[in-house]
Structure 1
Amino acid sequence: MTLGKRALLVIFPVILIVQLLAATMAYMTQRASLLGLEQARLAQRLSALKSAYLDYQAFNRSALYSITDSEALLAFLRESDIAYRNETLGLRIQQSIRSLSSARLSFVSFAIVEPDDDVAYYFESSLSPFARMNATQQRIVREAKQAADTDEMVYVENAEGGPLLLATGFILPASATRPLPSQREEAFTLQLAVRPERFIALKNQLEADYDAAVEIAPTLDAETSRLSADVKLSASVQARLTPPPHYLAERLRKLSLAFLIGGSLICLITSGLLLLLIRRYVTAPISHLDKQLTDLLLCKRTALDEPTDGGEIGRLTLNMKTLHERNTEALQRIQEISWTDSLTHISNRAHFGILAAAMHAKCEQGGQHLALLFLDLDNFKQVNDQHGHDAGDALLRIFALRAQRALERHCESHPETETAFARLSGDEFAVLLLSPAANDSLAELTDALLGLCRGGFRVEDRLYQVSVSIGTARYPDDATSVTQLLTRADSAMYQAKAMGKNFAVAFSAELEQRDQRIRLIEEQLRSLNGDDQFRLVYMPAVDREGAVVSCEALLRWHSPLLGTVSPGEFIPIAERAGLFPKIDSWVIDHALASYPQLVSLFGEGVILAINVSSAQLDDDRLCSYLTERAAHHGICTSLIEIELTETFAAELSSSTMAAVNAIRMAGFRVAIDDFGVGYTSIQQLLEYPADTIKLDMAIVERLTRPEMQQSLTAIVAFCQAQGKRVNAEGVDSLEKQSALLRAGCDLFQGYLISPPRTVAALAEWVAVRTQPQVELRLERLPPRTAVQPS
């Protein structure tokens, strides 16, 4: 018997068993792959269904927003002539809709519903001249008025004429703005509906291909079938398709038959081929190469041996050796690039994390101290905004180079220290300093980094006055981890900026407590209900005869969690967090609502003063809101005075100046509050668009001293010469009152007159003032020393 036959007798049973096992495992693998493929295919088709749905949803939302902001709609809402409105202006709206809608849309409708649910206008793209808003659309309008989120689309499967996708919005006709939830009953409702033909076609095709219905509902029960897919069409609509069991069974039967036939053929072919493959010149070189590769993967060797044989095996060995060397070089290069900031060529945030972890480990093992310095360039945004990003990039490169040199000099002076420098993002940098516990060089390094910005930065013959603010934190004194160390150094840096910039501040427990309180106040402001926790008090201002001329509305907040929080604490936090539009709206609406009570106490001409955040002046809707609310409460705008801080006035830009002028053009009075705190120039005072100047209590305290009487008189006279009325705040003693009277001041406000009071307390105060025994001239009012000014 030949060796080939002997090999065949030995190999064939083994191959047969191996092939059966391999075929079984391959079948199980392919079966799982088939299930995964069908699942992925089903999910992909549902994703296409979702894409079609989102396309119609995006069209609905953008079209509704475009119509809402169009002049045609504003003219329609404000037109009192119904015939003209429905025919001429309605035609303009139709033209707007037709221009926005795609030719592929078979059905588009648009409805305007009045606050009393009467349909003011309805248009649809059907050919019927008697088309009307159907019951389903009217029901959705009523539901939208009660809904918390009106931006959500509504999909109706069984609407008259076929499925519809509807978008609903609201608009106040007076101010052309979207109403608050409490104002929806006063607003017109806008509804745009389209028939999503492509979505319906895809859905029908899916149902035909899989012989199963596509379920579409707000929520779907958990599915137990092994082949099923669902997709979230929107925040409130889901879709699911579950093919029937026979769909998968047929495919698995074909797969098993293919593996049976294919496995048998492969078994026969493999037996014959193995007689040729099991040869010394194939098995031995491959085994040798395999061993080298295994050792390489297990890191037992660093490279492959040079091939000793020619032919395919030799070339394969040589190619694999070359490929491994190239991959090693590429990996090193990629690692170097991924750890380097492309602009400044120092470490980036990812590499900084690796360096920080390594230095943290050294710190724990060697008993050393680790300090982190968080650096942020001051006024860098102005460089980008005014001179372009090229100048900003050049400045960052110069700063990084200066900082690197400063760190090198520090390490030369302190050989026992170790540093790491990285750019985290934008104009933010970080420095790690690892030093012995007995040699604290953090203060020296901080001073050196602060000195880098002395004299500014010169880029292309231009000098940029950019400084640096630094926050520092230490491990383990201030933090228990690298992440916490970075967070606390960041907090200290923001405190350095708050102190006036170009400072270095070390993290402290007091700083952490302050940050926690700020976060807690911001969280409470975001979630509070103003009607439950806010209240208004009023501080009257009197003229030279003691008559009340105006009342300033002041906001007070009592939180169930924080207790009473002063306006000086929570107002700056609300402005930074962008929460003041909501607060201003609450104050404006409630102050105007209480105005009739102030009239009953002080007469028809009393002026209501309302403080408005200067952050609101970049929003051109403020004037519209003020006008609409004044009209709603029936108050003449000339009796309302809007108070703005002097800081705002000193920073007037063209946009904010336009906003203030719009407020004045609407008839409102404008007052500059807190005048004299150190921001204003004479030129700015001449340009103030104000009716009243309110002297801050700090300048009143300083200028009412006897030696400052002439200066006080000059300031009052200068303001009056510009046609502005002068109101002095902080009048809490007869001496201040007398000095202000001699200076010619127009109005007086302070605790000597009255502290801030509720309307009910003001009524009692008025009753006491009108008694004969207390009817005194203003300069003889008794001082109030029991209550300190707020």
Structure 2
Amino acid sequence: MLWFSVNVYEELYQEFVAEELESLSENLANDLLPFIGEQSDTFSIARTMLRMDQYEHIEYAKVFNNQGDLLSAYHSPQIMQSGTLYRHRELTNELLLKLPFGLDIAPDCIIVVKRIGDPQYSQGRLIISYDLSQALSSSQAKLISSVLPFAGLLVLVAVILVLELQRRSLSPLHQLIHKMRRIEDTKDYDVAVEETGKKEIAELTRGFNSMMSDINRQVEANRQKNALLLRQQEQMEQLANFDSLTGLPNRQFLMTSLSIELARAKRDNRELALMFLDLDGFKLVNDSFGHDVGDKLLCRAADIASECLRKGDILGRLGGDEFIIMLSNNPLITQLKEVAQRLIDNLSRPHHVDEWKIYTGVSIGISLATECDYQASDMVTNADIAMYRSKRNGRGQFTLFTQEMQDDNRRMVRIATNIAYAVESDELSLHYQPKVNCHGVVQGFEALIRWSSKELGFVPPNEFIPIAEQSDKISMITRWVMTQVCRDLPALLAAYGDAIRVSLNLSAHDLKNPKVTEFIVEKMQSLPIAPSTVEFEITESAYLESFHAGNVFFETLRGFGCKIALDDFGTGYSSLSYLTEFNIDTLKIDRQFTSQIGASKRSGLITNTIIEMARHLKLTVCAEGVETHEQAQFLIHHKCDLLQGYLYGRPEPLSTVVANAAKGDCQRLNIVSS
């Protein structure tokens, strides 16, 4: 019976140790995961490994990465003090790396090999060796020392007493063994055996109860730790796959889901559609109302978009104000148009956020899986290209991707990549268009940039300037124009006199870039001639986009004597209240009003009103796009100060403009009256 109890105890102890090692290795592997990667944190790994000091019979532990490199090794302090007690059992690193994952139970030790990370994204392995022989010897010694006296007494009683007395004496031990067997089957350590019988059995029972109590506490502690780890894992999965603001699937989850759905659609020969949504004017909402209102607007837009979708469609947020909708179930073009129009109609309505009533819209691009050979990245790119086409076409609409858009996008990329080369290789040039007074006398010029590329040919300004602004390369163009104007000014002043003024255009990006404004100020300071001969033109929408920074910058320029002109007036925000806040000297009437003079009575009235308003505000008025004598006569009659257009001269290179002055061709232009 003593031998039987020891064997059962050994089995339970070995099983208990195996379970503890399994839990310990699982917890350590999870704790080591954040420190293992391309640049492993060996200090944090070693500090984590030191937690095994509390386990008495662990011999050593080692951490390897996926390349088989040893990142950290732990040796028990007791083993280190006792010298070479286990060296005959320590395997080399090469042999350890060949061990399979799991438990390897030998007669004298237990080795557990645990994978660090998920099976599909393993970061390395953790190997722990437990000295089973020493632990069992110590435990058996304690068990035998407590049971042996009872066993001797039991033998004596068995010799003296009858079998019935022997049965009664061994009854508590049978009860204990029964409990142990039950524990082995049920793995329920929350048990207690009544302490009856002889002293030895009572001591054994007491020890058994104490051991079961300790094991039960450890199991409960491990259960709580595992529950905590599961909750943390769920939270990490939530953060990894879902947007924290809107709760929608994020980019990572969307791309994974899109790849899976595309593979299924390709296998089943089905269509799959993707919508790329971008809120119109969202940046202005953030700048005007603050990011808190912007975040609430994004959440509301996400809720509205979700209500507009079909069952089975997936909505996710890429980032910022960009959303993606994945439409499966082989959608028809008519269905895509219905969903897109429903989104536009609902998202274009006023949104009530806090106490604000916010107007916004949405531009949508649609791409199909069959047009990109079921490639996820190409499908997103195509939808993005189509979305930007919607924005260029006026916003608040949807566009279905075509191959022509891809060709246009490639040209945009080529233009963006060649801008820097154009600046460095002198492919850019300046042309000057004259501005005349009512008597036809040249009063100034506007510097207009031209680009003749060796690779792309002639690239018009209205094509490459927006691309330069989007790719953050407009600042280098502005610097080049500023430098070239400063070089050309002496020749223009020599040809047309010191009273003329040369104007150049600025972008909203220039006003936001302190380096550009500092560069312009330095050029004005170092200009060998009077800075009053330079005028800076900026559109009304660009001025509003950088209103405060623009006012500070323009005040500095005005200190040098420079003039400020508001270009394209009436085509931007068109709020008359802004004119009282703009620090400008000249108001330029846009060509869309000038071109309708004579053809539209309303355009004539608006133009006259602008001129009268500017005169009352003591602003100089310049009308651009003057191409007919009828337009010129109307403007002169209503006392427009300056006229600019093909009627008086096209933009020409500096050499031609100077030559015209020498011939006297452009010094005075006669206006033919009706």
TM-score, scaled relative to structure 1:
0.55
- How far did 1:369 drift? 0.9
Distance 1:611 1:739, change over 3 A: same
- How far did 1:335 drift? 4.3
Distance 2:635 2:89 in 1: 114
Distance 1:622 1:436 in 2: 51
Match of 1:612 in 2: 506
Distance 1:663 1:345 in 2: 49
Distance 1:592 1:452 in 2: 52
Distance 1:305 1:719 in 2: 97
- How far did 1:705 drift? 4.2
Match of 1:345 in 2: 247
Distance 1:464 1:554, change over 3 A: closer
- How far did 1:345 drift? 3.2
CA-to-aligned-CA distance 1:508-561 (integer Å, 9 cap, x gap)? 222222222222111111343445211112112222333222122221111211
CA contact (8 A) 1:549 1:606 kept: yes
Match of 2:493 in 1: 599
- How far did 1:343 drift? 3.3
Match of 2:452 in 1: 558
Distance 2:640 2:89 in 1: 113
Of 265, 268, 275, 1:373 maps to 275
Other structure's SS at 2:255 match: helix
646-655 or 559-568, which deviates more: 646-655
Other structure's SS at 1:369 match: coil
Other structure's SS at 2:595 match: helix
Mapping of residues 289-304 of structure 1, within 5 Å? none
Distance 2:321 2:628 in 1: 50
Distance 2:90 2:591 in 1: 101
Instruction: Determine if the alignment matches structure 1 residue 441 to structure 2 residue 357.
Output: no
Instruction: Determine if the alignment matches structure 1 residue 779 to structure 2 residue 671.
Output: yes
Distance 1:441 1:620, change over 3 A: closer
- How far did 1:486 drift? 1.4
CA contact (8 A) 2:508 2:542 kept: yes
Distance 2:347 2:362 in 1: 7
Amino acid at match of 2:380: L
Instruction: Determine if the alignment matches structure 1 residue 734 to structure 2 residue 629.
Output: yes
CA-to-aligned-CA distance 1:689-738 (integer Å, 9 cap, x gap)? 33322222221111244846565444333323332222222222222222
Other structure's SS at 1:505 match: strand
Other structure's SS at 2:588 match: strand
Of 653, 656, 662, 2:556 maps to 662
Distance 1:651 1:267 in 2: 77
Distance 1:425 1:710 in 2: 46
Distance 1:625 1:781, change over 3 A: farther
Distance 2:283 2:605 in 1: 43
Other structure's SS at 1:751 match: coil
CA contact (8 A) 1:541 1:749 kept: yes
Amino acid at match of 2:272: L
CA-to-aligned-CA distance 1:64-121 (integer Å, 9 cap, x gap)? xxxxxxxxxxxxxxxxxxxxxxxxxxxxxxxxxxxxxxxxxxxxxxxxxxxxxxxxxx
Amino acid at match of 2:487: A
Mapping of residues 179-194 of structure 1, within 5 Å? none
Distance 2:592 2:652 in 1: 22
- How far did 1:325 drift? 8.0
CA-to-aligned-CA distance 1:466-508 (integer Å, 9 cap, x gap)? 4333221111124530121112212222333334433222222
Larger Rg: 2
Distance 2:408 2:359 in 1: 30
Match of 1:228 in 2: none
Instruction: Determine if the alignment matches structure 1 residue 361 to structure 2 residue 263.
Output: yes
Of 723, 746, 749, 2:644 maps to 749
Distance 1:705 1:689, change over 3 A: farther
Other structure's SS at 1:477 match: helix
Distance 1:716 1:379, change over 3 A: closer
Distance 1:431 1:726 in 2: 49
Instruction: Determine if the alignment matches structure 1 residue 720 to structure 2 residue 612.
Output: no
Distance 1:329 1:623 in 2: 55
Distance 1:335 1:732, change over 3 A: closer
Show structure 1 runs of 5+ residues with no match. 1-39, 45-257, 271-282, 299-303, 412-417, 783-790
Distance 1:689 1:719, change over 3 A: same
386-395 or 471-480, which deviates more: 386-395
- How far did 1:640 drift? 1.7
CA-to-aligned-CA distance 1:379-408 (integer Å, 9 cap, x gap)? 44444445454444444333333333433x
Match of 2:654 in 1: 759
Distance 1:750 1:325, change over 3 A: closer
Distance 1:341 1:666 in 2: 51
Match of 1:119 in 2: none
CA contact (8 A) 1:675 1:696 kept: yes
- How far did 1:635 drift? 1.0
Of 523, 536, 546, 2:430 maps to 536
Distance 2:483 2:475 in 1: 12
CA contact (8 A) 1:374 1:430 kept: yes
- How far did 1:461 drift? 5.2
Calculate percent identity across the aligned residue pairs: 27
Match of 1:133 in 2: none
Distance 1:447 1:760, change over 3 A: closer
CA contact (8 A) 1:348 1:423 kept: yes
Amino acid at match of 2:651: P
Distance 1:359 1:710 in 2: 59
Match of 2:32 in 1: none
CA contact (8 A) 1:363 1:369 kept: yes
CA contact (8 A) 1:544 1:747 kept: yes
Distance 1:567 1:781, change over 3 A: farther
CA-to-aligned-CA distance 1:564-598 (integer Å, 9 cap, x gap)? 11111111222232222222222112212122211
Instruction: Determine if the alignment matches structure 1 residue 429 to structure 2 residue 323.
Output: yes
CA contact (8 A) 1:623 1:663 kept: no
Mapping of residues 32-43 of structure 1, within 5 Å? none
Of 470, 482, 485, 1:588 maps to 482
CA-to-aligned-CA distance 1:261-284 (integer Å, 9 cap, x gap)? 9779855999xxxxxxxxxxxx99
Other structure's SS at 2:431 match: strand
Aligned pairs, number: 495
Distance 1:523 1:455 in 2: 39
